[in-house]
Amino acid sequence: MDVTLIQDVVSEVMRRMSNHVSPQSTSADVGTGRYGVFSDVDQAVQAATEAQKQLLKLSLDDRDAIVKIIKSTAKENAHAWGKIEFDETKIGRLDHKIEKLQILELVPGVEYLKTHAQTGTNGVCLEEFAPFGVIGAITPVTHSVPTLSANAVTMIASGNSLVINPHPNGSHCAAIAVAEYNKRIAAKFGIEHLITVINPPTLESADAIFAHRGVNLLVVTGGPVVARAAMKSSKRAIVAGPGNPPVVVDETACMKNAAECIIKGASFDNNLLCIGEKQIFVVDSVYDKLVTALQTAGAVELNTQQIATLTSKAFKVDPKDNKPHVNKDYVGKDARDLVIAAGGTSVPPTCQLAFGETTFDHPFVQQEQMMPFIPIVRCRNVDEAMDKAIESEHGYRHTAIIHSRNLDTITRFGRRAATTLFVVNGASPSGLGLGGQGHLSYSIATPTGEGITTPLTFTRYRRIMITGSLRMV
Ligand code: NAD
């Protein structure tokens, strides 16, 4: 056995062991009205309003301490909460659900709130960043606890409290995490409802948050329907919407690096991430080299018949519009399950990603499929690859990836794609600080333009001008 194969087997065994981790403490008090868990939106907003007033009485150092409580609680409970979320949502990979909580320390806190100062002939000008108040947050099923936790860090760092409407399929784990955070915050600072969560959440409770007079700002993380609903709201909304990230591979790319990065990004949590590689556009002259590199790195190729079989299961035609739509039963499933559904018989235990050639108009290319099968579209040249990649992104301006050593090509694609995240010669998670530079957030505001959210995203700009005094020199 060569060393790479041994490493693969060891990491697969570790992954499976982590799938059998038994939950630690799940005894958090999730009864309604206690530690931030409410069934009624009015009560949650009222509690969050009072909690925010108490937060404002604390110092910035105290806010920093609260942020640290959230980060350490998430890390401490990562295995147990990852398992609870995995069991409840039944999508993605347990090892990555755990990792998404362990890396919460990459989310920025109070250090982002630097006061800007200018002095001059006319006095002193201070620019400060004030909270909005109560923030209504909508979170997705793909990262229920990670999104609410990262939102809590950035929003509380900037002095806000939260009312969260989680996805109904990820609301139990959300309530457990919220109750535990509030318990620990209350024990140290006496504030019980800084993070509130609606349990059980419904579309009606989301609407009630959208319309509530006590909610000062909306932050919505989710797919096209909720993104559109938030954009129509009369309140200011920060919208972290859907993506469909294309990958361009040109003839100058390092195929080994491209293949390994594509596998890493597209298989992370079984491709649930909005930034995850969803379709490849490769220049024809290096198509075979890329396929070989993907196989060498452990991905499994599906043939035309197998792709057709998988497509017939992974998409359902809706009689209303006669178009294929993603079948939720296949979202976030393991690559092995997809290969077997496609009619494949022999799947190595280490397989994390399946791939295969499709046409440009294929549903796997056009839809944000959130499955660890990545289609490859063969293109005559890099210009065609760029054109098709941009078209497949549907103007979300979310994420695009390129593997190339040609600076001119990289620059042209970056300019034309105009996405919030543009990753060059890396795996998509490097755009969120995982194996790359920069900070982490699970809410990447795309249509509204705030980008990878930070505490500053959730602040109101204030200028304090002290005219004619306080200048000492
Ligand atoms: P979803 O759109 O089905 O649900 C997201 C949230 O919106 C849930 O809480 C849901 O209950 C709520 N919701 C849905 N329709 C609504 C409506 N009409 N009114 C009010 N609330 C509504 O998405 P999902 O399956 O949970 O998550 C996956 C989607 O989220 C993907 O499209 C992915 O790209 C996107 N996403 C984006 C980011 C980002 O940072 N940009 C991060 C994670 C996920």
Q: 33: left (phi > 0), else alpha (psi -120 to 50), else beta?
A: left
Q: Which two tokens stand for residue 190?
A: 């006496």
Helix and strand totals (H; E) in the chain: 16, 20
State pTM to two decimals: 0.93
Say how many Å lie between the CA of residue 405 and the centre of ligand 1: 36
Q: What is the CA radius of gyration of the chain?
A: 23
Say how many Å lie between the CA of residue 226 and the centre of ligand 1: 6
Query: What are the tens digits of pLDDT across the range 381-430?
Result: 999 999 999 999 999 999 999 999 999 999 999 999 999 999 999 999 99
Query: What are the tens digits of pLDDT across the range 4-23?
Result: 444 444 444 444 444 333 33
Q: Which residues pair with 117 in a beta bridge?
A: 126
Say how many Å lie between the CA of residue 190 and the centre of ligand 1: 33
Q: Which residues pair with 135 in a beta bridge?
A: 162, 217
pLDDT score of 471:
67
Say how many Å lie between the CA of residue 53 and the centre of ligand 1: 30
pLDDT score of 426:
98
Pocket test for ligand 1, best of 225, 269, 272, 278 (most atoms within 8 A of CB): 225
Q: Which residue's alpha carbon is nearest to atom 15 within ligand 1?
A: 226
The alpha carbon of 191 is separated from its chain's Cα centroid by a whole number of angstroms, namely: 28
Q: Which atom of ligand 1 is nearest to the CA of 165?
A: 9
Say how many Å lie between the CA of residue 396 and the centre of ligand 1: 14
First to last CA, the chain: 74
d(CA 429, CA 295): 21
Query: What are the tens digits of pLDDT across the range 427-473?
Result: 999 999 888 889 999 999 999 999 999 999 999 999 999 998 776 66
**Number of other residues whose CB lies within 10 A of the CB of residue 125:** 15
Query: What are the tens digits of pLDDT across the range 207-228?
Result: 999 999 999 999 999 999 999 9
Q: Which atom of ligand 1 is nearest to the CA of 241?
A: 41
Pocket test for ligand 1, best of 173, 226, 452 (most atoms within 8 A of CB): 226
Pocket test for ligand 1, best of 41, 100, 142, 235 (most atoms within 8 A of CB): 142
Say how many Å lie between the CA of residue 222 and the centre of ligand 1: 2
Q: Which two tokens stand for residue 37?
A: 């868990």
Say how many Å lie between the CA of residue 225 and the centre of ligand 1: 7
pLDDT score of 247:
98
Query: What are the tens digits of pLDDT across the range 57-116?
Result: 999 999 999 999 999 999 999 999 999 999 999 999 999 999 999 999 999 999 999 999
Query: What are the tens digits of pLDDT across the range 350-369?
Result: 999 999 999 999 999 999 99
Helix (H/G/I), strand (E/B), else coil: 76:
helix
pLDDT (average), residues 130-141: 98
Q: Which atom of ligand 1 is nearest to the CA of 441?
A: 40
pLDDT score of 408:
98
Pocket test for ligand 1, best of 90, 97, 165, 167 (most atoms within 8 A of CB): 167
pLDDT score of 30:
66
CA dihedral 302, 306, 309, 312 (to 10 degrees): 30
pLDDT score of 121:
86
Say how many Å lie between the CA of residue 391 and the centre of ligand 1: 22
| Mean pLDDT across the chain | 93
**Structural domains in the chain plus CATH codes:** 3-241+451-464 (3.40.605.10), 246-438 (3.40.309.10)
pLDDT score of 31:
67
Q: Which atom of ligand 1 is nearest to the CA of 139?
A: 9
In this model, does residue 26 exceed pLDDT 50? no
pLDDT (average), residues 301-328: 96
pLDDT score of 10:
43
pLDDT (average), residues 35-55: 97
For residue 466, give Cα distances in angstroms to 114, 116, 127, 128, 469: 18, 14, 11, 13, 6
Q: Which atom of ligand 1 is nearest to the CA of 274?
A: 34
Ligand 1 binding residues, C-beta < 6 A: 138-143, 165-168, 203, 206, 221-223, 225-226, 229, 240-243, 274, 368, 442-444, 446
8 Å CB contact between 302 and 291:
no
